Amino acid sequence: MSFMRKLVSVLAFSAISTSAAFAGQPLKIGMILPMSGPFAAYGKQILNGANLYIKQNGSSVADRQVKLIVKDDTGIAPELSKRHAQELLIKDKVDILAGFGLSPSAFSVAPLATQAKKPMIVLNAATSSITTKSPYITRVSFTLAQVTAPVASWAIDNDIKNVYTIVSDYGPGHDAEQQFIKTFTEAGGNIIASIRAPVSNPDFSAYVQRAKDAKPDAIFLFVPSGEQGVAFSKEFKQRGLQDAGIQLIATGDLTDEHVLDTMGEPAIGLITSYHYSQAHESEENDAYVKAYLEEYPNMRPNFMSVAGYDGMHVIYSALEQNDGNADGPQFIQAISGMEWTSPRGPVTIDPETRDIVQDIYIRKVEQQGSVLQNIEFDKVEQFADPGK
């Protein structure tokens, strides 16, 4: 046999033997998500997106049958998230950890991903520092700093000079507060006060009244998406802040499609900045929204569903690239610099931080037919997390 023929056959054999090492073995993905409690919608939306991707792209990748194993961590319960991760790694022998609706859950699991050298894919939790807690973490959602800076710039450009900030008192709230203050004051704005509300069961009435009495031009708000935003906007309306000339600005967590219809009329006109809107105009999003509504007619696609969908895209692409190998170091190598067009727009995984780089849109809530939508009217292109 000539040298070249020999080389070719050796290379062919090694290619077959590496894929054979994983082919036929199931690809087990341990999904740690809130499936019950006040944040149950997070788990549902993320799984909807992930399952839609699997439906569209097949239930196996690189000759491996994809198996999602879902564990309910009930929301803010870091010890429970950690226990689930331990069990998934030891008993179920999962190849990949994914999910993480809330930041405390992602922080508690990060050291286990490092120990086990398994990829950990964050599908929501948005405190900037999460990705620094393990070299095997990547994030396909967003960070609070990333979605806050653009609305702070918008405020300055729109004659808002004095702002009162209110955030949830935990990681993502602290990041939002810090970034808002930084971007806004560096551009000449003034912060009247920065208030933190408890993340569990806050009663916003006193907070809203005190903010009104301080007479700011605007309140900047971050609360985790869901009922809290609905409660806040109700107080804002009832206590007459809008009539007093105070504007409410926020990250898009407030006007998440999952709760927008419940917020109703008080939501109309709200300005937010965010990485995903159901109303985003693109071919990819049109197809996504159509497929989502066909599959889940009683829900609306939101940013969490898109993160679940994109998370599966990242997993499928990395596995294809690595012939089915899902080990942490190889996985991270495969996703570094990965680019694709998400329903949200063009995105890249930053090879330095393993965090997502994406367009951040400024949007206004408008009534379109019988539904409320976040209508994008401006954007900051390919914006990396400024919070690290």
By CB under 6 A, name the binding residues for ligand PHB. Answer: 102-103, 124-127, 172, 224-225, 253
Contact 257, 246 (CB under 8 A): no
Which DSSP symbol is given to 254? T
Q: Among residues 134 and 225, whose Cβ is nearest to ligand PHB?
A: 225
Q: Among residues 259 and 347, whose Cβ is nearest to ligand PHB?
A: 259
Q: Among residues 45 and 285, whose Cβ is nearest to ligand PHB?
A: 45
CB of 92 to ligand PHB, least distance (A): 25
Sheet of 60-61, strands arranged across? 60-61, 64-72, 27-33, 96-99, 120-122, 137-139
CB of 172 to ligand PHB, least distance (A): 4
Q: Which residue is nearest to ligand PHB (CB)?
A: 224
Q: How far apart are CA 51 and CA 164, in angstroms?
A: 41
CB of 214 to ligand PHB, least distance (A): 25
Tally of CB atoms within 10 A around 82: 19
CB of 234 to ligand PHB, least distance (A): 18
17 CB contacts (<8 Å, ≥6 apart)? none
CB of 38 to ligand PHB, least distance (A): 11
CB of 135 to ligand PHB, least distance (A): 20
CB of 383 to ligand PHB, least distance (A): 17
Q: Among residues 189 and 343, whose Cβ is nearest to ligand PHB?
A: 343
Q: Among residues 28 and 354, whose Cβ is nearest to ligand PHB?
A: 354
360 CB contacts (<8 Å, ≥6 apart)? 146, 147, 149, 150, 273, 274, 275, 379, 380, 383
Q: How far apart are CA 213 and CA 241, in angstroms?
A: 10
Residue 215, both tokens:
């007479």
Please report which helix (H) or strand (E) contains residue 77, including its range: none
**Nearest Cα residue to 312 out of 99, 19, 6:** 99
Q: How far apart are CA 228 and CA 168, in angstroms?
A: 10
Helix or strand or coil: residue 218? strand
307 burial level (CB within 10 Å; 0-12, 13-18, 19+): buried
Q: Among residues 174 and 237, whose Cβ is nearest to ligand PHB?
A: 174
Residue 289, both tokens:
């929204």
Q: Among residues 217 and 253, whose Cβ is nearest to ligand PHB?
A: 253
